A = this chain, B = another copy of it.
Amino acid sequence: MKNAVFVALADPMRRQLLERLAMGPTTATGIADRFPVTRQAVVKHLGALEVAGMVAKERHGREVHYRLQSAPLGEASAWLTSLSARWEQRLLRLKRYVEEES
């Protein structure tokens, strides 16, 4: 699942979709009007985001509204900070070790 999140985040268009969805739910057609791509392209991207759990569909009549799901974003962010923290901690240990030597 985590993999699907990072795969989804790899595409610039999908990141733009996330930025747009952060302002509120929308339909694929509404998005396609403001982007230089087909509605089908938008639908596919939203599908990838849905597989990653970053977006949820909601049908109202004949319209399908997509809304952001922030949980996966938090998980991805947490993994990144954890990785960075492990490295920084290692640098800190090395620094202490060098200072101890002198």
A residues at B contact (CB < 8 Å) = 3, 6-7, 9-10, 12, 15, 18-19, 21-24, 68, 70, 73-74, 76-77, 80-81, 83-84, 86-88, 90
A interface majority secondary structure? helix
Decide yes or no: A80 and B73 within 8 Å by CB, A6-B10, A10-B6, A15-B6 being known contacts.
Answer: yes
Known: A70-B88, A77-B77, A88-B70. A83 touches B6 (CB 8 A): no
Say which residue of B10, B77, B86 sits within 8 Å of A22 (CB atoms): B86
Number of copies: 2
Q: Cβ of A12 and Cβ of B3 under 8 Å apart?
A: yes
Q: Which residues of B contact A88 (CB under 8 A)?
A: 70
* Interchain residue pairs with CB less than 8 A apart (25): A3-B12, A6-B9, A6-B15, A9-B9, A9-B10, A9-B80, A21-B87, A22-B83, A22-B87, A22-B90, A23-B90, A24-B90, A68-B87, A70-B83, A70-B87, A70-B88, A73-B81, A73-B83, A73-B84, A74-B80, A74-B81, A76-B80, A77-B80, A77-B81, A80-B80
